[in-house]
């Protein structure tokens, strides 16, 4: 294929969508990609996407890649070439290096779609090139694409959506995130993403940055500091952290060099990440035959990249065939505008205005979404989605139509509890994991359903730590049931005291304590005590007689309180209401001989 109708540079979300639109109308398309497999950065996005279900919302990024590739494979006149790097764009052709054969081909396409994505921004601090200092994308590649842990203990720099998402993903893979540092005074990413990492107990240190990566050949620590309001280090606040990995998530910058080589004009627009190719709403650059889509046209996210790719693809069809599906093109442009009309896109809007692409902000509803008090006792979702973000899978997934996002996709959802059946589908669908199930019971306890994407998944009846919004342990709780979901967002239902029900937002499952001792003298383990309680020994004296816990030489000084606390945790009865048992003599170990022998003298 020396002269394809369309040459697409980059097989990520934007490039694949552009190629699909062109291929659907019969154009001969060549897609070249640098990677060893296509899909761009989608293949390492394990989280569910925000947005509209018509555009893959609530689907995990890696699954979207598969769907796009499958769609593209329907068209025999499309070639997808991996391990192929574009060397330049010259007036007389585009040389592409096939790295497998280490040779180049020169292509002269009728139209060019540049969808080359972005590269990581690099942050300046001492030793910032030490092995073990990674861009956030590299951490995702190692961990989510190849299943290799980047380290054991990570310091994340930056609290934008990428920093928050990658922190969450690290925790899912079992890597400790020591802290997320944010130079400014507020978290950059979506509130639902921030809430997700906070309830794992990952601290977000605002007004903080890294000064130095410590280590000789690899990172083994970091020096961090607090910053004042003008982002200057505050003397005396420096401290060292023991970590083996620094992950930089301070943003991306468009990979626009090939557009520039094609003669396209670039403009520095910081809101869009740096030098951006000027383009119109059809995604055409200042050079007629060259289009852009996705992050290269301004840093945004994968959903908008896919819509932009389709818009570019349709316009390329129009250029070559004289017409395209105009209705569809208009719909795509409207969807894109709606997506960008909310408050979290204000930066994108002001960036796009600098190239005369105006998107009107929409009116949106933000704030209190739960008025569930009057439905006390009914199993129902509590929606903690207070920030206007472009997303509506809760609305589209509800089988009884009880949830409404409304006209603007950025609006926060409103739920009609009188129609809700408590099925919990919305909680498994919500990309922000911001929907919890809740039901007050008559015994003073409440049932809380938590969206859970971690291992191990607890069993019914198992005791876990119920944790709060900052990861703090609130109580131990019994797992009532676990509903498994095909999309792997399982819902773990717990019973907790009602006064804690509105605060419990995560669980901590630990098996480490099971083999640890509770009673040193009689060598009784935590697991043995818990097992006995489950068998029905729910009184301290019963446990003591059954297990011999607290019957050893120490007389229960070491284990009595711990046993009572386990009993309380397992039964839900507060310690003060449990009987501590009888404190029997002798108070210390003593031989019968000593008791039998009368001392010659009394104490004086």
Partner 1 sequence: MERIVEHPLLKFERGEKIVFYFEDVQMQAYEGETIAAALHANGVRMLRITPKGSRPQGLFCAIGKCSSCLMEVDGKANVRTCITPVKEGMRVRTQKGRGEKSE
Structural contact between residues 558 and 519, judged by C-beta atoms closer than 8 angstroms: yes
Q: Name which of residues 162 to 201 contact partner 1 (CB under 8 A).
A: 172-174
Minimum CB distance to partner 1 smaller for 124 or for 360: 124
CB-wise, 125 or 540, nearer to partner 1? 125
Which residue in the set 49, 56, 125, 134 belongs to the binding site for partner 1 (CB under 8 A)? 134
Query: Which residues contact residue 424 at a Cβ distance below 8 angstroms, ignoring those fewer than 6 apart?
Result: 381, 437, 449, 483, 491
Query: With contact defined as beta carbons under 8 Å apart, do 178 and 243 qualify?
Result: yes
Q: Which token pair is 414?
A: 């409103």
Residue 457 engages partner 1 in binding (rule: CB under 8 A): yes
Residue 508 pairs in a beta bridge with 465
State in angstroms the smallest separation of the CB of 131 from partner 1.
Answer: 3
**Separation of alpha carbons 273 and 138, rounded Å:** 19
CB-facing half-sphere around the CA of 254: CA atoms within 13 A: 31
3-class SS of residue 550:
coil
Verify binding: residue 260, partner 1, rule CB under 8 A. Answer: no
CA dihedral of 419, 425, 428, 431, whole degrees rounded to 10: -60
Nearer to partner 1, 136 or 446 (CB): 136
Question: Which one of the spans 449-457, 537-545, 565-573, 585-593 is the region binding partner 1 (CB under 8 A)?
Answer: 449-457
Measured from the CB atom, the residue of 144 and 467 that comes closer to partner 1 is 144
CB of 118 to partner 1, least distance (A): 8
Q: Is 137 in the site for partner 1 (CB under 8 A)?
A: yes
Site for partner 1 contains 486 (CB under 8 A): no
Shortest approach of partner 1 to residue 10 CB, angstroms? 11
* Sheet strands side by side (includes 245-248): 133-135, 245-248, 153-157, 176-182, 204-206
88 sits near partner 1 (criterion: CB under 8 A):
no
Does position 484 interact with partner 1 (CB under 8 A)? The reply is: no
455 binds partner 1 (CB under 8 A): yes
Site for partner 1 in 5-34 (CB under 8 A): 34
Would you say 158 or 569 has its CB closer to partner 1? 158
Residue 366 sits in the site that holds partner 1 (CB under 8 A): no
Which residue among 144, 159, 297, 335 contacts partner 1 (CB under 8 A)?
Answer: 144
Q: How many CB atoms lie within 10 A of CB 350?
A: 14
Strand arrangement, sheet containing 103-107: 84-86, 94-98, 103-107
Indicate which single residue of 186, 460, 488, 531 sits in contact with partner 1 (rule: CB under 8 A). 488
How many of the chain's residues bind partner 1 (CB under 8 A)? 45
- Positions in 505-524 near partner 1 (CB under 8 A): none
What tokens appear for 104 in the block? 């180049």
Work out which of 74, 148, 242, 400 binds partner 1, going by CB under 8 A.
Answer: 148
141 contacts partner 1 (rule: CB under 8 A): yes
* CA–CA dist 506, 137 (Å, integer): 27
Question: Contacting partner 1 (CB under 8 A), which of 101, 146, 576, 582?
Answer: 146
Distance CA 33, CA 35 (A): 6
Nearer to partner 1, 217 or 230 (CB): 217
Say if residue 13 is exposed, middle or buried (CB neighbours under 10 Å; 0-12, 13-18, 19+): buried
Q: Does 468 bind partner 1 (CB under 8 A)?
A: no
- Contact between 99 and partner 1 by CB under 8 A: the answer reads yes
Angular region, 361: left φ>0, alpha ψ -120 to 50, beta rest: beta
Q: Which residue has the tokens 């839900």?
A: 572
**Is residue 1 a contact residue for partner 1 (CB under 8 A)?**
no
Residue 464 interacting with partner 1 (CB under 8 A): no
**Got the DSSP string for 425-483?**
HHHHH-TT--EEEEEE-TTSEEEEEEEE--SSPPPTT-EEEEE-TTS-EEEEEEEEEEE
| C-beta of 160 vs 342, nearer to partner 1 | 160
Q: Would you say 249 or 567 has its CB closer to partner 1?
A: 249
The residue within the footprint of partner 1, chosen from 50, 55, 125, 454 (CB under 8 A), is: 454
The whole-angstrom separation of Cα 294 and Cα 13 is 7
Residues 216-245 that bind partner 1 (CB under 8 A): 216-218
Cβ atoms of 501 and 440 within 8 Å: the answer is yes
257 interacts with partner 1 by CB under 8 A: no
Q: Does residue 254 bind partner 1 (CB under 8 A)?
A: no
| Shortest Å, Cβ 233 to partner 1 | 24
Question: Which of 195, 295, 384, 453 contacts partner 1 by CB under 8 A?
Answer: 453
Q: Select the residue interacting with partner 1 from 41, 52, 167, 463 (CB under 8 A).
A: 41
Q: Does 70 bind partner 1 (CB under 8 A)?
A: no
Whichever of 172 and 396 has its CB closer to partner 1, that residue is 172
Strand partners, 524: 519
Instruction: Encode 300-322: b = buried (16+ Cβ within 10 Å), e = exposed.
Output: bbbbbbbbbbbbbbbbbbbbbee
Give residues in contact with partner 1 (CB under 8 A).
34-36, 41, 46, 60, 62, 83, 85, 99, 119-120, 122, 129-135, 137-138, 141-151, 172-174, 216-218, 255, 453-455, 457, 488
């Amino acid at each position: 294929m020396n002269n394809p109708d369309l040459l697409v540079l980059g097989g990520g979300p934007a490039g694949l969508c552009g190629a699909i639109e062109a291929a659907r109308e019969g154009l001969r398309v060549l897609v070249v990609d640098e990677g060893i497999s296509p899909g761009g950065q989608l293949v390492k996005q394990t989280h569910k996407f925000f947005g509209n279900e018509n555009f893959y919302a609530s689907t995990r990024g890696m699954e979207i890649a598969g769907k796009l590739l499958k769609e593209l494979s329907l068209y025999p006149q499309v070639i997808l070439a991996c391990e192929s790097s574009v060397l330049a764009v010259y007036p007389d052709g585009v040389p592409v290096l096939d790295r497998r054969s280490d040779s180049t081909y020169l292509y002269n396409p009728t139209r060019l779609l540049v969808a080359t994505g972005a590269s990581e921004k690099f942050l300046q601090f001492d030793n910032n090139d030490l092995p073990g200092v990674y861009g956030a994308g590299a951490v995702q590649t190692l961990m989510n694409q190849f299943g290799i842990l980047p380290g054991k203990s990570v310091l994340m720099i930056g609290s934008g959506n990428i920093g928050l998402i990658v922190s969450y993903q690290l925790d899912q893979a079992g890597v400790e995130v020591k802290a997320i540092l944010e130079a400014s005074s507020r978290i950059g990413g979506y509130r639902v993403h921030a809430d997700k990492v906070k309830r794992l107990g990952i601290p977000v240190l605002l007004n903080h940055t890294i000064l130095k990566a410590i280590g000789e050949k690899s990172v083994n620590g970091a020096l961090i500091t607090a910053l004042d309001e003008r982002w200057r280090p505050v003397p005396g606040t420096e401290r060292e952290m023991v970590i083996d990995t620094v992950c930089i998530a301070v943003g991306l910058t468009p990979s626009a060099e090939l557009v520039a080589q094609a003669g396209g004009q670039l403009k520095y627009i910081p809101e869009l990440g740096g030098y951006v190719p000027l383009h119109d709403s059809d995604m055409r650059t200042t050079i007629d035959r060259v289009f852009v889509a996705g992050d290269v046209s301004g840093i945004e996210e994968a959903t908008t990249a896919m819509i932009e790719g389709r818009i570019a693809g349709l316009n390329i069809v129009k250029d070559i065939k004289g017409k395209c599906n105009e209705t569809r093109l208009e719909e795509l442009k409207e969807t894109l505008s709606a997506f960008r009309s909310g408050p979290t896109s204000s930066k994108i809007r002001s960036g796009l205005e600098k190239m005369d692409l105006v998107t009107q902000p929409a009116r949106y509803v933000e704030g209190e979404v739960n008025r569930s008090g009057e439905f006390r006792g009914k199993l129902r979702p509590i929606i903690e989605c207070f920030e206007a973000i472009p997303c509506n899978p809760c609305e589209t997934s509800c089988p009884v139509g009880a949830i409404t996002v409304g006209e603007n996709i950025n609006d926060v959802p409103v739920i009609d509890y009188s129609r809700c059946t408590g099925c919990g589908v919305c909680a498994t669908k919500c990309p922000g994991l911001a929907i919890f199930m809740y039901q007050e019971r008559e015994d003073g306890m409440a049932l809380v359903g938590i969206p859970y994407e971690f291992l191990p998944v607890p069993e019914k009846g198992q005791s876990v730590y119920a944790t709060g919004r900052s990861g703090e342990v609130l109580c131990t709780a019994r797992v009532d049931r676990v509903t498994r979901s095909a999309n792997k967002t399982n819902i773990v239902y717990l019973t907790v005291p009602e006064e804690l029900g509105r605060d419990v937002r995560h669980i901590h499952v630990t098996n480490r304590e099971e083999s640890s001792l509770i009673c040193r003298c009689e060598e009784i383990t935590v697991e043995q005590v818990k097992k006995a309680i489950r068998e029905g020994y729910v009184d301290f004296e019963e446990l003591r007689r059954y297990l011999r816990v607290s019957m050893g030489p120490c007389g229960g000084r070491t284990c009595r309180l711990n046993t009572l606390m386990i009993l309380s945790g397992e039964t839900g009865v507060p310690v003060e209401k449990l009987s501590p048992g009888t404190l029997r003599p002798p108070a210390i170990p003593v031989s019968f001989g000593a008791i039998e022998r009368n001392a010659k003298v009394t104490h004086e």
